[in-house]
Amino acid sequence: MIITKKDGIPDFVTLGRKHLKIVHRNLPTPLLYEHIIKNREGQISHMGPIVVRTGDFAERPLTDKFIVKDPVSEEKVSWGDENKPLSEERFDNLQHRLLAYLQNKEIYVQYCYAGRDSDYRASIRFITETAWHNLFVRNMFIPIHEVEDFEAYDPDFTVVHIPGFHAIPEEDGTGSSAAVIVGLEQKTAFICGTRYGGEIRQVVFTILNYLLPLKSVFPMRCSANIGPDGDVAIFMGRGATGKTTLAVDPERRLIGDHAHGWSDNGLFNFERGSYARVLKISREQESEIFACTQKFGSILENVAIDLETRQVDLNDNALTDNTRAVYPDTHIPNASVEGVCDHPRYIFLLTCDALGVMPPMARLTP
């Protein structure tokens, strides 16, 4: 297949017109529901959420993330175990095979923004093989609604998510058949061989971690909320330390649950949705998040479902301990509509040390 390019970037619009069967662009949530059911990608549970399965991967395989090493990235990336290099030749070879795999297939496209501050947001075009991952994108990031915005849309980056395509480790230089490959010069990221939705979220975080420091913005993995007096708190820590739970406070407004940028203007959320762990949460202790597991538009990833009653069981970890709910922040009654706020007054470092050496929350001196 000949890959047409626009300013050195693969021209997926021209590609779609010539080689793809159908391109579904910017479908709203109800239409994506219909496609998910028609394609047998998931099931509608009691109260309306979609329940999906991710198959072999229920979390991120950290060993299979690569960044293309080229003149643009060579001097700007901290290379190591987490940022492993991949040659341009191998990237091009995988890209040709992946696009050949897509010939005469249906795909789903969403035009979105990542970053709630319009001064620093990035326009990202998402191309997915499945409708439920397109709904994932629509929940997590800022979709475009106006016709004039569609016509003027010019993506800064394209993220291609094709779980049905598998890398060949011997040929592609990957660790397994699943891989996440980010080309900074090509402004393209490929996710293949895995249905785990968290890969999409993390690859956008990776892209913004590259783009925003060049604009003097500090990217942070943290949750954030704001009190009645305008006092902003951020919660930093590894996964499962309680960032989302602490940020979703009925007495404070949620800014975001995962990733933020800190600029001269203050904080802004990278996303417009949440990707919350839901194993064994209860209505009494985490009422806002629990309510999101019972709302139309939410995605429940690897959550157990009774096929007769369509009731879900949040206490069942038969598939994984990493069960998730994906929902727009509009599902949270007191979430900030703007997703931007002032500089933080409080910074919490969540340690959650299982050995008891450190307390669950550490108070640091300036």
Q: Which amino acid is at 147?
A: V
Contact indicator for 328, 297 with CB cutoff of 8 Å? yes
Cα 102 to Cα 15, 52, 165, distances in angstroms: 10, 22, 9
Task: Please give the span between the terminal C-alpha atoms of the chain, in angstroms, as a whole number.
Answer: 58
The residues, any chain, with a CB within 8 Å of residue 300's CB and separated by 6 or more, are 45, 49, 50, 51, 52, 278, 293, 312, 323, 324, 325
What's the DSSP call for residue 142?
E
Tell me what pLDDT residue 81 has: 84
* Residue 316 exposure: Cα atoms within 13 Å on the Cβ side: 12
Tell me what pLDDT residue 10 has: 61
The residues, any chain, with a CB within 8 Å of residue 157's CB and separated by 6 or more, are 122, 123, 124, 125, 187, 188, 189, 207
Residue 81 tokens read as 């175990």
Cα 4 to Cα 20, 154, 186, distances in angstroms: 14, 16, 13
Tell me what pLDDT residue 357 has: 66
Q: How many residues does the chain have?
A: 366
Query: Could you read off the pLDDT of 293-321 as tens digits, one per residue?
Result: 999 999 999 999 999 999 999 999 999 99
Q: What would you report as the CA-atom Rg of the chain, rounded to the nearest whole angstrom?
A: 20
pTM of the predicted protein model: 0.91
CA distance 32 to 291: 22
Low-confidence ranges of the chain (pLDDT < 70): 1-17, 61, 147-150, 352-362, 364
Contact indicator for 171, 93 with CB cutoff of 8 Å? yes
CA distance 270 to 201: 10
Q: Which amino acid is at 19?
A: H
